[in-house]
Amino acid sequence: MDTFGTHYGYLIATLLIGGLWTVLFWLRSDLRKELMWMSILIAPAGLTERYFVPVYWDPGTF
């Protein structure tokens, strides 16, 4: 029997990382430029998720 964590682990991890990014963005004004540039540079990798995620992440329900 699957638990809550196995069904929503990817979503939870994404929300935690996004929350950390948001906290750093608002609290550390000296890092905002770097955060934005790195986000822009890494964003294309996010577009490839639909090709790679099904290979290792295939829960029964989402």
pLDDT > 90: what percent of the chain? 45
pLDDT at 1 over 80: no
Residue 29 to residues 16, 34, 42, Cα–Cα distance (Å): 20, 10, 20
- Tell me the backbone φ, ψ of residue 48, rounded to 5 degrees: -85, -5
Q: Over the chain, what is the mean pLDDT?
A: 82
> What is the structure's pLDDT at 25?
94
Q: What is the pTM of this model?
A: 0.64
